[in-house]
Amino acid sequence: MIIVTGGAGFIGSNIVKGLNARGYDDILVVDDLSDGTKYRNLLGCSIRDYMDKDDFLAAVERGDDFGSAVEAVFHQGACSSTTEWDGRYMMKVNYEYTKALFHYCQNRTVPLIYASSASVYGAGPTYIEDPRYEAPLNVYGYSKYLFDQYLRRHLDGLRAQVVGLRYFNVYGPNEQHKGSMASVAYHFYNQIREQGRVRLFEGSDGYGPGEQRRDFIHVDDVVALNLWFMEHPDVSGVFNAGTGNARTFNDVARAVINWYGQGEIEYIPFPEHLVGRYQSFTQADLTLLRSAGYREAFTSVEEGVSRYMSVLAGA
């Protein structure tokens, strides 16, 4: 059996579909369906069972075996809102939960692949998996940073694989429930459909209007990374999950406009509440990932956005 926490969410549901495509259907999905609309992300998926995240944590803390040998755990469940400032809640849901699952998996020699975040790097500009370059700008980033540090302290004594993947700007199908935290590609699609134009921030941190640069990675590439690590259980550590190629918000906007065949860009004032809390540039350093043996190419913004727009249009 394979366990996917956050399995009804954006990345989690795509991992479930990726597992199905490789012939795995003995899957336990763990999530919180307080937002009942997320069930749609699992339509067409083949899974063994579903379990609420709180019930699952209680079972983990009791040491339950879930009725079957666990082959691997993909821990994608988290509070991923970068605007959430309830630190007690964030640390409980992200840090303590992951720590409990870590020890459960270690005690049973079960591989654990979990979602970290590029937010641990803060404002950058260096995105190398090294504590010298890690300074999160919000408590969400800190909750991810702290567990990465916890793993590093245990790396030498691991009994089973543990991998933290620092996701950069992921976009693609099944993110509609994320609201304001959905990707810019998703928001641009809706803005053009409703208003005929996309809205980008004016210049910030020395970048011109819409020229802020991010490492945008298609969710299919994120799934491929997760499954590669599952198939290479000898590799552990914290790794960047980006393309290694920063692209501008203008690039993403133009890719959406080109797919539509119409639309324009409108630049709006940079929000004051984001000054000093905004990543104007991100770009994954892939040295460590490549040295671990991952050789696959990553999807370009033009190809990935076009593919995603076609999915949205057919939804």
Q: Is 17 known to be catalytic? A: no
Give the amino acid at 129: E
- CA dist 45 and 29 (Å) reads 11
The span from the CA of 224 to the CA of 163, in Å, is 14
Q: Are 107 and 100 in contact (CB under 8 A)?
A: no
Query: What phi, psi does 26 have (nearest 5°)?
Result: -85, 75
User: In sequence order, which residues have a C-beta less than 8 Å from that of residue 33 and are 6 or more positions away?
Assistant: 8, 39, 52
Helix (H) or strand (E) holding 78: none
Instruction: Clarify whether 92 is annotated catalytic.
Output: no
In the set 99, 178, 207, 260, the catalytic residue is 178
**How many other CB atoms sit within 10 Å of the CB of residue 146?**
16
Residue from 156, 82, 76, 71 nearest 105 by CA: 71
Sequence-separated (6 or more) residues with CB below 8 Å from residue 112: 72, 73, 75, 101, 102, 105, 106, 160, 161, 162, 163
Report which DSSP code applies to 89.
H
- 69 alpha carbon, distance to own chain's centre: 27
Given the residues 95, 140, 167, 189, the one annotated as active site:
140
| Residues tagged active-site | 140, 178
